[in-house]
């Protein structure tokens, strides 16, 4: 669900000179995200990990750059610990999920390509021994609507 807002960037030399940037923010609650390693030769057909997020937040700026975060996600299938490894931090990914708010099931697939991790993926262990992760991401290409 997009929400648009503006940010005032600067005021120079006492003059009222403002630049406004319009951003689109998208949020999906409890999204199930399939994560594939991005490969040009022999692309993967099965995700190496499937996770469920408490919240998936993405922001697209005017120049079409997409940044965001996977908040409090846990593994449904596969090994999310790879994302925390040095190889995983340097890898590129494709992330796919379905938008439950879209009534037309032929139009509900959402996808990010060229995804890289910004910073470290963090992991927390709760009292029951369940691991939850948090990650900041950026993507080169996105299909969000």
CATH at 97: 2.40.10
Asked whether 10 and 19 are in contact (CB, 8 A), the reply is yes
Residue 63 lies in a domain: yes
Task: Give the structural domain span for 100.
Answer: 25-143
Residue 98 lies in a domain: yes
Residue 56 lies in a domain: yes
| DSSP tag of 10 | -
Residue 137 lies in a domain: yes
Q: What is the pTM of this model?
A: 0.79
d(CA 74, CA 70): 10
Residue 16 lies in a domain: no
Residue 4 lies in a domain: no
Q: pLDDT tens track of the chain, all 145 residues?
A: 444 444 444 444 444 444 444 568 899 999 999 999 998 777 778 899 999 999 999 998 777 789 999 999 999 999 999 999 999 999 999 999 998 887 877 788 999 999 999 989 999 988 888 899 999 999 999 988 8
Residue 9 lies in a domain: no
Residue 13 lies in a domain: no
d(CA 32, CA 73): 9
How far is the CA of 86 from the CAs of 39, 73, 79, 89, 90, in angstroms? 18, 20, 14, 5, 6
d(CA 135, CA 121): 5
Asked whether 138 and 110 are in contact (CB, 8 A), the reply is no
Of 124, 126, 44, residue with least CA distance to 78: 44
Total of domains in the chain: 1
């Amino acid at each position: 669900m997009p929400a648009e807002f503006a940010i005032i960037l600067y005021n120079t030399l006492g003059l009222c000179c403002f630049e406004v940037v319009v951003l689109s923010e998208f949020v999906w609650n409890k999204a199930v995200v399939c994560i594939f390693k991005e490969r040009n030769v022999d692309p993967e057909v099965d995700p190496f990990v499937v996770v469920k997020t408490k919240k998936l937040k993405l922001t697209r700026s005017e120049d079409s750059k997409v940044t965001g975060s996977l908040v409090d996600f846990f593994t449904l299938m596969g090994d999310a610990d790879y994302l925390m490894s040095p190889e995983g931090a340097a890898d590129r990914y494709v992330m796919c999920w379905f938008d439950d708010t879209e009534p037309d099931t032929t139009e509900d697939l959402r996808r990010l390509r060229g995804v890289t991790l910004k910073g470290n993926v963090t992991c927390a262990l709760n009292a029951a021994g369940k691991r939850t992760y948090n990650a900041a991401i950026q993507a080169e290409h996105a299909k969000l609507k």
